[in-house]
Amino acid sequence: MEDEILYLDRPGGSSLAYCYTPAKPGIKGTTLVFLPGYMSDMEGGKALALDSWAKAKGRAMLRLDYAGCGASSGEFEEQSLIDWRDDVLFLIDKVTSGSVTLVGSSMGGWLMLLVALSRPMRIKAMVGIAAAPDFTDWGFSQDQKMTILRDGKLEESSEYSDDPYVTTRVFWQSGEANRLLHKDIPFDGTVRLLHGQNDQDVPWAYSLEIAKKMRSADVQVHLVKDGDHRLSRDQDIALLVDVVSRLP
């Protein structure tokens, strides 16, 4: 049976779509919150696989769509990185209780870090999957950055979608204003970072850089030599579930 999609209206924002399964009585553990990547949604393979595992274990889990993505309302090209961070914070505050483990894929890994810094008393652990903080800096050539600033957006073909990969000026400027890797990241919880060494979109060295910048000592990086950016193969998802299952 498919999960019922629920909606909450964020004041001054969009109607946000989410699926939430509460913990079964007597089951301990943090609430898992999955944060999709750029132009992705809560129906991706990793999110659904983790959701299935959580249900089997009786764990609470929240999946969500950022404004302008998936089943949420709003125009995609009007959203900024901080708008999406605030979408996540709103749903965590309104839907969940107790401690939280964030699982962030690609751009969701950037949002994961921003959310953890905004809710230090709630976030107990983070799991990054090809986490991509600061990609507005290193992910574009100088010519592409100038196109974004001059034309208001950059459109590129995407191997993951028939729709073009669109980066707007409002998103890019928001990203540049919220870069994290130039200084230490003041988070003291558990951090696990998964990254494919055959990732053609986000160099795996960025997971090492995140680990280096983390104030926490409880940080591990799991490198998958033949893994790509998505880490969506059966063995990749098995690794993700194993890592999550071992979190304290």
199 labelled catalytic? yes
> Is 134 an annotated catalytic residue?
no
Average pLDDT over every residue of 196-205: 97
Amino acid 169 reads R
Tell me the mean pLDDT in the region 199-213: 97
3-state secondary structure of 15: strand
User: Is the residue at 153 inside a domain?
Assistant: yes
In a domain, 1, yes or no: no
Give the tens place of pLDDT for each residue, 22-71: 999 999 999 999 999 999 999 999 999 999 999 999 999 999 999 999 99
* 76 within a domain of the structure (yes/no): yes
> In terms of residues, how long is the chain?
248
Q: At what angle do helices 81-95 and 107-118 cross, to 10 degrees?
A: 60
d(CA 9, CA 83): 14
What's the number of domains the chain is made of? 1
222 as an active site residue: the answer is: no
Range of the domain at 127: 6-245
CATH number of the domain encompassing residue 99: 3.40.50.1820
pTM above 0.85, yes or no: yes
pLDDT in tens, 82-133: 999 999 999 999 999 999 999 999 999 999 999 999 999 999 999 999 999 9
Q: Catalytic residue among 199, 207, 222, 236, which?
A: 199
235: in domain: yes
Backbone angles phi, psi at 100, to 5 degrees: -130, 140
Q: Which of these is catalytic: 14, 80, 106, 174?
A: 106
In a domain, 97, yes or no: yes
Task: Indicate if the pLDDT at residue 19 is higher than 80.
Answer: yes
| Residues 100, 116: Cα–Cα separation, whole Å | 9
Summarize the confidence of residues 204-221 as an average pLDDT. 98
What is the rounded CA–CA span in Å between residue 79 and residue 115?
17
pLDDT at 160: 73
Q: Is residue 45 part of a domain?
A: yes
214 lies in some domain: yes
Q: Report yes or no on 234 lying in a domain.
A: yes
pLDDT of residue 1: 59
**From the CA atom positions of the chain, what is the Rg in Å?**
17
